[in-house]
Amino acid sequence: MFRPDPKPTKTKHQNAYKCSSGATITESQIQVLLSKSYREQGNQAELCKGCGKQAINHAHIIAKARCKVLSITELIWNPINYFPACKDCHDATEAISNGKWALLNNAEHMLGLAAEYDLEKYVKMCASLKNPDKIEAL
């Protein structure tokens, strides 16, 4: 669902954000839920879902800050929105305009998630594919 509001939807409480259900959640609650989700998905010693190398962190397909802006804060801790990533794949996920994201093993999932939750990112991802000369190998 696309919402062009440029600022996170905050409630009367500082650092509280809306979920798509209308519920509000604080920054500290977000961090607790995200940590729990990471633990449930396994440790970060996994392989990168983008290329198969050793993962060093998690990459969010729709950035945490963007989830807050779109009032879909629950995606921050939802495993469909993040994956174990090496540095190169994490960077490719963040800098979509260069088209490197399309080279990742999970590119189709990334594009589908953007289409469902963040139309602006989806359009940028599609636009990056129209310039194949800009895509360089990771």
Residue 60 lies in domain: 16-134
Q: Decide: 93 and 61 in contact? Cβ < 8 Å.
A: yes
Is 115 contained in some domain?
yes
Are 111 and 122 spatial neighbours (Cβ–Cβ below 8 Å)?
Answer: yes
What tokens does 68 get?
């807050």
In a domain, 43, yes or no: yes
Q: Is residue 119 part of a domain?
A: yes
7 within some domain: no
To which residue do tokens 């979509």 refer? 96
Question: Is residue 95 a part of any domain in this protein?
Answer: yes
The pTM assigned to this predicted structure is 0.82
Each of the 138 residues of the chain gets a pLDDT tens digit; together they read 444 444 555 545 568 999 999 999 999 999 999 999 998 887 656 899 999 999 999 999 999 999 999 999 999 999 999 999 999 999 999 999 889 999 999 999 999 999 999 999 999 999 998 755 544 444
How many distinct structural domains can be found in the chain?
1
Domain assignment of residue 2, yes or no:
no
The answer to whether residues 135 and 103 touch, using CB atoms and an 8 Å cutoff, is yes
Domain annotation covers residue 130: yes
| 4 belongs to a structural domain | no
**64 touches 76 (CB < 8 A):** yes
